[in-house]
Amino acid sequence: MPYLHTMYSYEELSTSRLALRRLRTDDLQAIFALRSDEAVCRYIDRPVIQHADEAAAFIERIVNGYANNDIYYWALTPKEGQDLIGTICLWNFSADGTVAEVGYEMLPMHHGKGYMHEALAAISQYCFNTLGLTAIEAFTHHANTASRQLLERNGFILCEGRVDPDVTANVIYKKGR
């Protein structure tokens, strides 16, 4: 069965305060700042990037993912500007295309302002209303209380007893239609 998400083109979205747009090559410095920030990467099982060329390679992978319908990746920017303050993505689609994983990160200076809550609500609507997904999953470190609270405020439920085979410190949340 083909992936359901390939039937739709990538859409830019918005909330009351944010524009969710495609990642661009001119986001290089912001992506470098985001993916090299120790606080952002604290609970994410990936190496902190050290050089701008690593950020450029990451942007290239995302742009290729757009072309292949492998990923939906949005740069989060305030509506009044184009500077990237965070990102949110859908990826790791199930074989039948009905479930996707959501991932997100935000520069620390923008934490606690409700931006990611807005972005996650918009992405959830997009998943269910446009892509026709039946569920969204989120994998987050068990000690990342801010992420866990964000997910719970957005209607995600902890999957008791389910384990992330790749990162055992993660807990899994799920939101269905």
Q: Which long-range CB contacts under 8 A does 108-115 form with residues at least 24 apart? A: 108/37, 108/39, 108/40, 110/85, 110/86, 111/146, 115/17, 115/18, 115/76, 115/85, 115/86
- 18, 63, 1, 121: CA torsion to nearest 10: -10
- The predicted pLDDT at position 81 comes to 85
Angle between the N-to-C axes of helices 115-125 and 145-153, in degrees from 0 to 180, rounded to the nearest 10: 50
Residues 6+ apart with CB under 8 A from 48: 35, 36, 37, 38, 41
Domain span at 70: 4-176
- The predicted pLDDT at position 66 comes to 82
Reported as a single tens digit per residue, the pLDDT across 87-128 is 999 999 999 989 999 999 999 999 999 999 999 999 999 999
Q: In this structure, what CATH number is given to the domain that contains residue 27?
A: 3.40.630.30
Please report which confidence band the pLDDT of residue 60 belongs to, taking 50, 70 and 90 as the band edges.
very high
Domain count, the chain: 1
- The predicted pLDDT at position 82 comes to 82
- The predicted pLDDT at position 4 comes to 44
Backbone angles phi, psi at 114, to 5 degrees: 85, 5
Alpha helices by DSSP H, listed for 3-51, are 28-36, 38-41
- The predicted pLDDT at position 9 comes to 59
Contact status, residue 74 vs residue 22, Cβ threshold 8 Å: yes
- The predicted pLDDT at position 17 comes to 97
Burial category of 106 from C-beta neighbours within 10 Å (exposed 0-12, middle 13-18, buried 19 and up): buried
